[in-house]
Chain A
Amino acid sequence: GAVVSQHPSWVICKSGTSVKIECRSLDFQATTMFWYRQFPKQSLMLMATSNEGSKATYEQGVEKDKFLINHASLTLSTLTVTSAHPEDSSFYICSAIDRGGYTEAFFGQGTRLTVV
Chain B
Amino acid sequence: GQNIDQPTEMTATEGAIVQINCTYQTSGFNGLFWYQQHAGEAPTFLSYNVLDGLEEKGRFSSFLSRSKGYSYLLLKELQMKDSASYLCAVKNDSWGKLQFGAGTQVVVTP
Bound-state CA distance A71–B98 (Å) is 19
B96 and A105 form a contact (CB under 8 A): yes
Q: How many residues from A make CB contacts under 8 Å with B?
A: 24
Bound-state CA distance A108–B44 (Å) is 10
Q: What is the number of contacts between chain A and chain B, taking CB atoms within 8 Å?
A: 51
Q: Which residues of A contact B44 (CB under 8 A)?
A: 107
Interface, chain B (partner A; CB < 8 A): 31, 33, 40-45, 48, 87, 95-103
A56 at interface by CB-CB < 8 Å: no
Interface bits A1-40 vs B (CB < 8 Å: 1, else 0): 1000010000000000000000000000000101000000
Bound-state CA distance A52–B103 (Å) is 30
Q: How far is the CB of A31 from chain B (nearest CB, A)?
A: 9
Bound-state CA distance A34–B95 (Å) is 10
B87 and A43 form a contact (CB under 8 A): yes
B100 and A44 form a contact (CB under 8 A): yes
Bound-state CA distance A6–B42 (Å) is 10
Most buried by B among A45, A103, A108: A103
